[in-house]
Amino acid sequence: MPETGFINKTMSVGAKTRRYVVYVPHEYDATKAWPLIVFLHGAGERGDDGLMPTEVGLGSAIRRHVERFPCVVVMPQCPDGMYWDKAFRDIDEAIARTEIEYAIDPARVYLTGISMGGYATWIYGAAQADRFAALLPICGGGKIEDAPALATLPIWAFHGDKDETVLPEESRKMVHAVKKAGGKAWYTEYHDIGHNSWDKAYNDPKAIKWLLKQRKR
């Protein structure tokens, strides 16, 4: 039987050994193809232990509501002192290894992230638009010039209206730009919620259900 749950992994990125985590559902069966969620953590979870990304955001939602996540999840870790735009190779390698080691449906690969990882969801998602079936960025922002690439993907963004760390305008302007470019983008802004809007978003059964229903065009 394959190992399931949160599994610690290592990979080589250039000359460095990097740690990351893969979540495998208990019912995983390698004879069928599974959806894959790529989760990008925020600034507070940077490092090289491979563990912190599982403790904030999507990992804690999985532990609370495991039945809502019939999918494989990969959680790379951004190195200390860096932002995700300087660690795209870590994301690339973590996805590539997961797709080799597990039976992943290439039409159902999704990207989500929080705060710093929310920015990366918009930016990396635009750069790799052909790879993903949908994006779910939380309390992040992106580049307006990426709107045409992002318009090829369904996107559901979340933000708290009291967020003073990343202003909600960052999500609003990206959703507006994607819609203006002809894309399908939805936006949920939580009333009286600060920066930690990810718990509410990831614990909303409709959000994960929507994500897992999307398929690459």
Across 37-67, b (16+ Cβ under 10 Å) vs e yields bbbbbbeebbbeebbbbbebbbbebbeeeee
pLDDT tens-digit readout, 187-197: 999 999 999 99
Domain boundaries, the chain: 5-213
**Is the pLDDT reported for residue 56 higher than 90?**
yes
Rounded distance between C-alpha atoms, residue 46 and residue 161, angstroms: 26
Per the DSSP assignment, residues forming a β-bridge with 155 are 135, 185
pLDDT tens-digit readout, 147-206: 999 999 999 999 999 999 999 999 999 999 999 999 999 999 999 999 999 999 999 999
Dihedral angle of Cα 54, 58, 59, 61, to the nearest 10 degrees:
150
CATH number of 5-213: 3.40.50.1820
Per the DSSP assignment, residues forming a β-bridge with 36 are 72, 109
CA dist 147 → 43, 112, 122 (Å): 24, 17, 9
